[in-house]
Amino acid sequence: MVTARPSPGDLLVIDGRASVQFAGDRALTFRVVSVSDQPTYQGWVWLTGYVLNSRGDATAKREVFVQLAGLRPAVPVTPTQAGRGRRPRARR
């Protein structure tokens, strides 16, 4: 769980704990670009950022409205986890 307001650059898991709209298979790995200062309900925040796929590539820019108490830090994807850095085997 994230105890403080997220900052630009943070990598978060946004799932049903943060908002029911992200429950189940709609969960996101999200790289924060900005955090809105506009007033909202207590404990909620608007975040702008990028949805990341399993390789860590940005696939969509989104603005999401989530509960701070439901945000969790995500584990960064390393190149070896994503399958990058491997060369294809040469065919003979």
Angle among Cα 56, 43, 63 to the nearest 5 degrees reads 40
What global pTM score does this model have?
A: 0.80
User: Does some domain include residue 41?
Assistant: yes
The whole-number pLDDT of residue 60 equals 97
User: Does some domain include residue 84?
Assistant: no
The closest alpha carbon to 55, from 77, 33, 39, 37, belongs to 77
The closest alpha carbon to 45, from 62, 61, 67, belongs to 67
User: Does some domain include residue 81?
Assistant: no
User: Does some domain include residue 87?
Assistant: no
CA-CA distance, 3 to 38, in Å (whole number)? 20
The answer to whether the CB of 59 falls within 8 A of the CB of 51 is yes
Q: What is the pLDDT of residues 56-81, one digit of tens each?
A: 999 999 999 999 999 999 998 776 55
User: Does some domain include residue 47?
Assistant: yes
User: Does some domain include residue 82?
Assistant: no
Q: What is the pLDDT of residues 28-59, one digit of tens each?
A: 999 999 999 999 999 999 999 999 999 999 99
User: Does some domain include residue 83?
Assistant: no
The whole-number pLDDT of residue 8 equals 97
User: Does some domain include residue 46?
Assistant: yes
Domain residue limits at 39: 11-74
The total of structural domains in the chain comes to 1
